[in-house]
Structure 1
């Protein structure tokens, strides 16, 4: 029977970019591959928070005081916890930190998952990093074409397909001006992954 084994040595921190070209790249080009970040929005009555934003940042309200809770896209770093089974590698993905250590950031260790309608967001979870993902029914992801055994800090890799546990390739869905990531609908795209650190046991 197959089982997942957590491998801290192959787990890593990275910055993520969304690429619609599918072309091989060696460095992030914001004009072709905008940064993916987590958003916080306290200006909306439903307090829209935690969705992934996958385009240029037209979301952040730069007019608001830095100390007022408002609309913001965080320059998010993500943790990829590596699990191995039968020679294949899958990942539990969690929000880690942000580039600027912003005081409003509160999503560290929130897990990447999908809503009932297939939208990608980060959700709080009681499970510790490295837990038994099968026993807990956790969302894990496959990164198609990522050279798991050869990752180097400071290097970037792409194009990479992000595939959910449901076997669906993630797409970008523009809805009401917001560039969501969704496993059901949207335009085709790929991840571009910039490695920050390898051998990271937790976010």
Structure 2
């Protein structure tokens, strides 16, 4: 007789996605403000901000790619009643992808000219990305996550996390951790760290990572 482990049975904890969504909400709400805060020809300020925006765009692309690969087909097959919601998610992903393609070109122009016209074009498009994303994330939380929690196994859900982590270079892991902790309530951070990081990694975060992230954040936010 084949034994089905708890990680293979339908039913999973999708709450980690809420943390990732909170991270994207904050990052893309701040992004147009950061861009508009760069003065004309101030390349010393522009470059860390533009690098940050490009990194955010890359992270969002990869996050959506993971869902496209690992989530939508599974939900349509196992929960046909969710197909309409999945279709909406696919449309929203396509809209965001088109916006991010436009962003690449506008970022090139801003970095080349460092002027107000190019800067405002980037910021205005980031406003659009933010609005599309905020709508999408809210609908995903209400229309997708409850179904995923009932029809997907914990192992299957974990593949989304593995896909997300695969895009983060090792030298950026503490920076990613710092951004995540910023959206975890202060009184929950210690518990979050214990749950998600082994003891050696928690020690390294305290000794090295926190300072590394603080310096990185200061370069972006000024």
Q: Bigger radius of gyration, 1 or 2?
A: 2
Using the size of structure 2 for normalisation, the TM-score is 0.25
Q: Which has the higher contact order (CA 8 A, sep 6+)?
A: 2
